Structure 1
Amino acid sequence: MAKLFLFAIGGTGSRVVKALTMLMASGVEIKNTETIIPIIIDPDSANGDLTRTVDILKLYKEIREKGSSKDTGFFQVKLSSLDELGDQRFVSDNFKFDIDGVKEQLFKDFIGYSELDRNNRAFASLLFSKANLEADMEVGFKGNPNIGSVVLNKFKDSDFFRKFASNFEQDDRIFIISSIFGGTGAAGFPLILKNIREARSPVPHHHFLQHARIGAVTVLPYFGVDKNEQTSIDSNTFISKTKAALSYYARNVSGNNSINALYYIGDKVTNDQKGADGAHEQRNKAHFIELAAALSIVDFMELPDADLQVDQGRAVAPRFYEFGLKNETQAVTFDDMAMQTYDIVARPVTCYALFRNFMEYHYEEISRDRGEAWASNGNNKLATAEMDSRYKAAIHMFNKHFAEWVEEMSGSNVAFRPVNLQKSGKDLYNLVNNKPAKKSMMKSLFHGSGLDNFVGILSKKEPEFDHLKNTQKLMALFYHAAAEVAQKEIGI
């Protein structure tokens, strides 16, 4: 089965990968691929957005490796690091491409400014301001794509690029995530695309790269930052930088048919993020735009090969897309989404929210104290004492990230409020906002409501999955029980 190489550039790239990982954990299907290989490109290796996303990717891998089976949709898509591919593969959770020479020196040292003769030094001073030349690149390019384009051009000469090329096969696809209003993403996207399309010998599999099916999402301004002493970034420059980048893309990306499918997305800029140049202080809150950008990857992978043909290194019929909602609103729920988006997102996210709320509010007590059939029956029992403690801890940590992701999106300037993760007990089925659970007198009398009803469904379905080891059984059982509740009790 074909692979998807997912290049995520800069902080926005990391946050979109985080959103995609949450969707995949929930059971959103990624078609035409068996394995996704995230490759995060960010000179700021301590970036809070990057480190949080890497933690989430590692947890996803651990949960999937122990709990995935053909009987569950949760955590179904395989994630792999580049190191794990090929004949020399080894266990690795390194999803980052480290750029040589960035951490140790200023930009002027990186380009050998002091070693230039007088005329070339004068020319470099025309291209780069004094602040550019004195820039410390350890926390990224601080919104300067002119610096980023020079540094990131080393990508094509790296061992990392050769390893990627060695493992790229004819039917694989590539997708690139970047923002257009900063430094790393705006510079990185066209450079990576150019290096792939213009790959030549001795680059391994260069013919496959030249004719690769490539998609990308370019994220236009969608947030601003508070100007303070911790940041040199000025949100007022985002629009002018975007116009300049779009003009360049019109000639060198869309204009020369380098890309098969290009997705555009953005939003009104409001200063709703704390300003920081980088490192661990740059930990932006999740935003609905990042979820929408992640859906562009889902859409791209649904496109048939016939729609993504390449001839002589150029896309035959490039496609361009935007994202829209059914209802214009500042607080998006499932019902505000267009039908195609609703069908992709609503039920999986609801199912995972049910699983998450049960695990966080009820699992320990019920499986330990009540001796319910779903937890205590069968050869592979699901009671807390029977479960791998590290596996439970991984689920708990992933659920913490999931709740944080949902909570942060609920406060963005276009808020996304699909579920209420505080619902529990008898109120469990009311977790989907604007969609109360179906009411029935007979259900209340004989089958209970909320938690009691859910426990009953779990007990009824438990024997179906007793052939699985208990970590797999847990995922399969809750996936199918949550799907039944979402459909029959919540109506989603």
Structure 2
Amino acid sequence: MAKLFLFAIGGTGSRVVKALTMLMASGVDIKNTDTIIPIIIDPDSANGDLTRTVDILKLYKEIREKGSSPDTGFFQVKLSSLDELGDQRFVSDNFKFDIDGVKEQLFKEFIGYSELDRNNRAFASLLFSKANLEADMEVGFKGNPNIGSVVLNKFKDSEFFRKFASNFEQDDRIFIVSSIFGGTGAAGFPLILKNIREARSPLPHHHFLQNARIGAVTVLPYFGVDKNEQTSIDSNTFISKTKAALSYYARNVSGNNTINALYYIGDKVTNDHKGADGAHEQRNKAHFIELAAALSIVDFMELPDADLQVDQGRAVGPRFYEFGLKKETAAIGFDDLATRTYDLIARPVTRYSLFRNFMEHHYEAISVNRSEAWASNGNNKLASGEMDSRYKAAIHQFNKHYAEWLTEMAGSNVAFRAINPQQSGKDLYNLVNSKPAKKGVLKSLFQGTGVDSFLGALSKKEPEFDHLQNTKKLLALFYHTTAEVTEKEIGI
């Protein structure tokens, strides 16, 4: 089946990929592909947003490799690094594209400013301010797309780009995630798009790249930064930079039909993020806008090939989209989502949240009790002592990231509060806000509620999946049990 090459540019790109990974873990279906290759482009290799996302991607891969099967929807889509493709037989979890020369040089050294003659130095000084020329690029471009456009143009000459081209096939697709109000994303998106559409020999598969089906989401301002001594970034410039970038895109992206499908999303700017120029200090909290942006990738992959035709490097009938809610609110629950969005995420996110809750708050204590049929029956037992310790650790670490993601979104200026990640007691079924579990006298008397009812449902289904190795059995059993509980007990 066709592959999706997912380019994520800058900090926003990393955070959107994180949101997509959480959705894929929960079982959100990605059409027309069985493999996604994330390629993160960020000169700031120590960026907290980037390092956290890379950690999540690696955990997802480990869990999927040990636990995925046709019997589960959790962790179903394969993630691969570029190094793993083709016949190179080189296994690597490197999801980042490293830009040569960024870490060791100031921008003026990168462009060879001192080696220019007097007239060309004067011309360069017209294009770049003194602060631009003296910029240390190790933590990114600090909201300067004019610097980013020069540095990122090296992408087309890199071995990384050649490797990407070598593995790109005719039916594969490309999606680019970037923000428009910073430096890395605003510069990187049109450059990558241009380099793909203008691919030429001797680049491998250049004809496939020229006519590739390409989608993108451009994230408009949706947060501001608190101005302090740790940052040179000024949120007051976000709107003016966005207007300038949109004007450029109107001529060189949407205006010249180089993109098949372009998604726009943004929100009002509030100074709710601690300012930091980069490195580990740049670790922004998750935001609902990033979740919505991730859904643009899901939507793009659902578009049929007939809607994404390309003729001689130009999209035929390009499409443009925005995201909307059913009703405007500062605290979004499942019922506030448009019908299509609700259908995409409500059940999967609820199912995985049930699984996470049980694994984090109940699994160890309950599975030690050998009388629990779901944990002790069959040939492939699910009790804690029977499970691969590294597999359990990977699930635990991923679940910590998942809960953190939900908690951070619940606190953003447009809060996503469909799930209560703090729910930890036996009342397991009430973790969906605004959707209290169904209650009844007979159910309370004979079936129990919450964890007790869930244990009974697990034990009833356990024999159906005993043919699976226990790491695979765990995901399959919980996927199907949570599906039943989500529908019958919670009503989603």
Shared fold by TM > 0.5? Answer: yes
Q: Which amino acid aligns with 1:162?
A: R
> Residues 226-265 of structure 1: matches in 2 within 5 Å?
226-265=226-265
Listed one character per residue, the Cα deviations across residues 109-161 of structure 1 (whole Å, up to 9, x for unaligned) are 00000000000000000000000000000000000000000000000000000
Check conservation: 1:2, 1:171, Cα contact below 8 A.
Answer: yes
Q: Equivalents in 2 of 1:83, 1:424: separation in Å?
A: 40
> Residues 185-204 of structure 1: matches in 2 within 5 Å?
185-204=185-204
Listed one character per residue, the Cα deviations across residues 145-192 of structure 1 (whole Å, up to 9, x for unaligned) are 000000000000000000000000000000000000000000000000
> Residues 5-154 of structure 1: matches in 2 within 5 Å?
5-154=5-154
Q: Which amino acid aligns with 2:452?
A: D
Q: Equivalents in 2 of 1:89, 1:262: separation in Å?
A: 35
Aligned counterpart, 1:458: 458
Aligned counterpart, 2:471: 471
Q: Equivalents in 2 of 1:271, 1:286: separation in Å?
A: 15
Please report how far the alpha carbon of residue 469 of structure 1 lies from its aligned counterpart in structure 2 after TM superposition: 0.1
Q: Which amino acid aligns with 1:187?
A: A
Listed one character per residue, the Cα deviations across residues 54-93 of structure 1 (whole Å, up to 9, x for unaligned) are 0000000000000000000000000000000001132110
Check conservation: 2:262, 2:320, Cα contact below 8 A.
Answer: yes
Q: Equivalents in 2 of 1:59, 1:273: separation in Å?
A: 27
Q: Which amino acid aligns with 1:306?
A: A
Q: What is the CA RMSD across the aligned residues, in angstroms?
A: 0.6
Structure 2 gaps of 5+ residues are: none
Check conservation: 2:370, 2:383, Cα contact below 8 A.
Answer: no
Aligned counterpart, 1:172: 172
Q: Equivalents in 2 of 1:485, 1:168: separation in Å?
A: 41
Please report how far the alpha carbon of residue 421 of structure 1 lies from its aligned counterpart in structure 2 after TM superposition: 1.8
Q: Equivalents in 1 of 2:426, 2:288: separation in Å?
A: 30
Aligned counterpart, 1:328: 328
Listed one character per residue, the Cα deviations across residues 454-484 of structure 1 (whole Å, up to 9, x for unaligned) are 0000000000000000000000000000000
Aligned counterpart, 1:444: 444
Aligned counterpart, 2:182: 182
**Residue-pair matches, total:** 492
Q: Equivalents in 2 of 1:317, 1:421: separation in Å?
A: 43
Check conservation: 1:34, 1:77, Cα contact below 8 A.
Answer: yes
Aligned counterpart, 1:284: 284
Q: Which amino acid aligns with 2:108?
A: K
Q: Equivalents in 1 of 2:388, 2:209: separation in Å?
A: 43
Aligned counterpart, 1:314: 314
Check conservation: 1:424, 1:451, Cα contact below 8 A.
Answer: no
SS where residue 384 of structure 2 aligns? coil
Q: Equivalents in 1 of 2:102, 2:457: separation in Å?
A: 55
Please report how far the alpha carbon of residue 414 of structure 1 lies from its aligned counterpart in structure 2 after TM superposition: 0.3
Q: Equivalents in 1 of 2:424, 2:228: separation in Å?
A: 41
Check conservation: 1:27, 1:76, Cα contact below 8 A.
Answer: yes
Check conservation: 2:367, 2:383, Cα contact below 8 A.
Answer: yes
Residue 341 of structure 2 is aligned to residue 341 of structure 1: yes
SS where residue 406 of structure 1 aligns? helix
Please report how far the alpha carbon of residue 440 of structure 1 lies from its aligned counterpart in structure 2 after TM superposition: 1.1
Listed one character per residue, the Cα deviations across residues 225-251 of structure 1 (whole Å, up to 9, x for unaligned) are 000000000000000000000000000
SS where residue 272 of structure 2 aligns? strand
Q: Equivalents in 2 of 1:374, 1:29: separation in Å?
A: 27
Residue 491 of structure 2 is aligned to residue 491 of structure 1: yes
SS where residue 174 of structure 1 aligns? strand
Listed one character per residue, the Cα deviations across residues 355-384 of structure 1 (whole Å, up to 9, x for unaligned) are 000000100011003530000000000000
Could you tell me the percent identity over the aligned residues?
Answer: 89
Q: Equivalents in 1 of 2:371, 2:175: separation in Å?
A: 48
Q: Equivalents in 2 of 1:434, 1:426: separation in Å?
A: 18
Q: Which amino acid aligns with 1:125?
A: S
TM-score under structure 1 length normalisation: 1.00
Q: Which amino acid aligns with 2:89?
A: R
Aligned counterpart, 1:429: 429
Q: Equivalents in 2 of 1:83, 1:142: separation in Å?
A: 29
Structure 1 gaps of 5+ residues are: none
Listed one character per residue, the Cα deviations across residues 393-437 of structure 1 (whole Å, up to 9, x for unaligned) are 000000000000000000100000011122244411010000100
Q: Which amino acid aligns with 1:132?
A: N
SS where residue 385 of structure 1 aligns? helix
Residue 377 of structure 2 is aligned to residue 371 of structure 1: no
